Amino acid sequence: MKNKNVIKWKILVFIILAIILTSLIFFLFNGNQNELKTIQSKGELERIYKGENNSAQEIAINILGMPFSLLINSAKYALSGAGSVTTDEAIPMNPSTSGTIADATSGVQSNTSKDYSTTNIQVENVDEADIIKTDGDYIYSISENNVVITNVENPEDIKISAKFQLRNNSIPEDLILYQNKLVIISTETNESNYYYNNNNTLVSIYDITNKEVPRIIKHYTLYEPYYTSRCIDNKLYVIASGRLRKENNNIVTHYTEDYETKEIGFNNMYYLDEVKTNKQTIISMLDLNEPNQNVKLNSYFIDISNAYVSENNIYLLEQNYENNSVPPISSLFGLWGAIGPFKYSDENEWDYGTYTKVFKLNILENGTVRYGGKAEVKGRTIDQYSMDEYEGNLRMALYDNEGSRIVIFDKDLKEIGQTPKLAKGENMYSSRFMGNKAYLVTYKTMDPLYAIDLSDATKPKVLGELKIPGYSTYLHPYDENHLIGIGMETQETVNRDYSGRVISTTARIVGMKMALFDVSDVGNPIQMSSVVIGDSRTTSAILTNPKALLFSKEKELIAIPVNNYAEDFSINNTSDTYSTIINSYKNYNKSYIAEGYAVYKINLKEGFKLKGMITHENDINNSYYNYRSTKLLRGLYIDENLYTVSENQVKVNNLDTLKLLDEIKLK
């Protein structure tokens, strides 16, 4: 019996020594995994292409066997907490206060003295591309495969100055206007590769000093699909992202610039050992004041699912489902583990769900970008509005099955504060940061609007909550004390059993909705006014793309494109909203118009007041499913006139009366 006990203790000592050895191997090989590295050889690039990874964890598995990899996972989980980060010589940057209070608009530079609207953007001084731009005298728009420049200097006599296609019949996606240069970002089909993504990103810069004869002065092609772009001062950033591809049995590492093929270069291709992916994100930068200079490129082996850009930094997000659950160490020791030194009691190690990796890239003074570190946090974001940089801190709105919350990171991406999780079991539909406050909308059958105080970044606090029917998919500042929500109106139904007990609640969409909230008392947000548009079939581009919004507090104007609406489509808020909605829209045989541009007057006293609907050429059909779309894309104002632009035509209406002044067909 004594010999058996000695053998057991020897086995235990051996296991402990194995754990120590495994840990040493893990830290020796894994200590620099968070450091950004450059590709050193074609063989290394080939391993990434194949999805292989020589991480320390895998080395340990090969040396010591699978059981000890579980121990490594346990140690790794215990030592790595959410928000941990290592930086690669992060560059100190001036604090950014990009969390604007008023609506941000793109700063198109123009010599005109006219008052005109610009793209609805998220961050002040960070212009975003859109399908329509204006400088006050001309409108630049996309009409199918064409780019059109329309002269609107005289609103009663508008005319086309130029209409042209891009090379290789590439499809224009976005426009950026900078001084006398028009940037066109388009998708180009790569016919030599169909297996993975076969789209390339073509960037074309035109000199539009002569609006009737635009002159191309620069173009380059990135061999990945277009993701997003920004223009900060004179620096143009275009981001393309997709899977590494092969052509003629070689991994594509080149790009073309002005008809010349160039290599990105291994020294500009970066990866992290711990980030296992064969997808790359290419960031290009071009100085629009010096377009003849070479474009600068970096490639990062990151599979991005969201991106946020401030004046000083680019944040790339990779969101994945991860199962970080590991069997407790006690399970490896049987009964001894249940009562001995390896007794397991932490239930949180059984952890799984969606995790978001945040990669920070500093924008240097010369416009180039440099890796600034990474963090990982549990939960996922909705869109770019889920993030905000304020006084050097990154603030994120995240949600998962456990609820929604705000998490705050400092400039080194170290987590410094977070709110408790809110509304467990509900999805987050929208978020908005306004200075030192944030607002979240979650939804299951009712719409809680949460007001959150972020004045102390280390101790963010939930101050107020408003529960109303429906939900908002986009929140827009009216001013520092009022907020506009755009989303859907719903009707809640309480289901009871035969004895009258509540067994469930359900909700159904009954129309689109715009609401105006008073958040001056953040502890008690109030819905001041609302309007319901259409019925359950009604939708709008604004629900997924904030650039479709036209808003001006000074002009008391808010306007959005609307699809699938009845002719009597607008209902002002009443004490009996539900019955009004149901009575007005229960008849599905009413005449439906496919698209229109809904123009409202908005102020704090009257709320929303419909001024009218502008439509372009269209076939009106009683059938909900059978209509021809005009693709009415955007609206903008220049002085006291409203311009609506579709792929078919441009219309000019008086902003006050909506009287038609002129129109022109684009095709």
Over residues 55-99, the pLDDT tens digits come to 444 444 444 444 444 444 444 433 333 333 333 333 333 333 344
SS3 label, residue 584: helix
- 140 phi and psi, to 5 degrees? -110, 120
Residues in CB range of 20: below 8 A, 6 or more apart:
none
Confidence of residue 311 (pLDDT cuts 50, 70, 90): very high
What mean pLDDT value characterizes the chain?
81
Q: What is the pLDDT of residues 200-209, one digit of tens each?
A: 999 999 999 9
More confident residue, 528 or 353: 528
CA 99/CA 28 separation, integer angstroms: 42
Is the pTM higher than 0.75? The answer reads yes
Is residue 295 within 8 A of residue 286, CB to CB? The reply is yes
Looking at residue 569, its pLDDT comes to 55
What are the CA-CA distances from residue 103 to residues 262, 443, 483, 580, 608 (Å)? Answer: 41, 25, 11, 33, 18
More confident residue, 159 or 586: 159
CA 525/CA 451 separation, integer angstroms: 7
Looking at residue 506, its pLDDT comes to 62
User: Which DSSP symbol is given to 349?
Assistant: G
By CB atoms closer than 10 A (0-12, 13-18, 19+), residue 54 is exposed
Q: Residue 622: pLDDT above 80?
A: no
What are the CA-CA distances from residue 77 to residues 3, 56, 69 (Å)? Answer: 37, 15, 12
- 127 phi and psi, to 5 degrees? -75, 145
DSSP 63-112: HH-HHHHHHHHHHHHHH--TT----SSPPP-PPPB---SSPEE-----S-
Confidence of residue 447 (pLDDT cuts 50, 70, 90): low
Looking only at the bridges linking them, the beta strands covering 199-207 and 215-222 are: antiparallel
**How far, in whole angstroms, is CA 425 from its chain's centroid?**
23
Q: What is the pLDDT of residues 23-66, one digit of tens each?
A: 555 444 444 445 788 999 898 899 888 876 554 444 444 444 44
Mean pLDDT of 117-128: 97
Is residue 468 within 8 A of residue 446, CB to CB? The reply is yes
By CB atoms closer than 10 A (0-12, 13-18, 19+), residue 75 is middle
What are the CA-CA distances from residue 86 to residues 21, 189, 374 (Å)? Answer: 24, 39, 7
**How far, in whole angstroms, is CA 468 from its chain's centroid?**
26
User: Which DSSP symbol is given to 331?
Assistant: G
CA 184/CA 641 separation, integer angstroms: 26
Q: What is the pLDDT of residues 319-363, one digit of tens each?
A: 987 765 545 444 444 444 444 444 444 444 445 688 999 999 999
Q: Residue 475: pLDDT above 60?
A: yes
Reported residue count of the chain is 667
Closest CA relative to residue 128, chosen from 174, 188, 166: 174
What are the CA-CA distances from residue 381 to residues 306, 307, 666 (Å)? Answer: 8, 10, 38
Looking at residue 653, its pLDDT comes to 98
What are the CA-CA distances from residue 186 to residues 80, 130, 230, 461, 633 (Å)? Answer: 41, 12, 15, 44, 17
Is residue 400 within 8 A of residue 378, CB to CB? The reply is yes
Q: What is the pLDDT of residues 250-265, one digit of tens each?
A: 999 999 999 999 999 9
Q: Domain ranges for the chain, please list them.
A: 2-79, 166-303
User: Which DSSP symbol is given to 332?
Assistant: G
Looking only at the bridges linking them, the beta strands covering 641-646 and 649-654 are: antiparallel
The answer for 132, left when phi > 0, alpha when psi is -120 to 50, beta otherwise, is beta
Number of other residues whose CB lies within 10 A of the CB of residue 576: 8
Looking at residue 72, its pLDDT comes to 40
Q: What is the pLDDT of residues 498-519, one digit of tens each?
A: 676 755 566 678 889 999 999 9
Helices 2-30 and 56-64 meet at what angle, rounded to 10? 150
Closest CA relative to residue 147, chosen from 136, 160, 128, 156: 160
CA 219/CA 206 separation, integer angstroms: 9
What are the CA-CA distances from residue 439 to residues 7, 150, 309, 430 (Å)? Answer: 62, 39, 20, 8
By CB atoms closer than 10 A (0-12, 13-18, 19+), residue 243 is middle
Is residue 381 within 8 A of residue 417, CB to CB? The reply is no
Q: Residue 246: pLDDT above 80?
A: yes
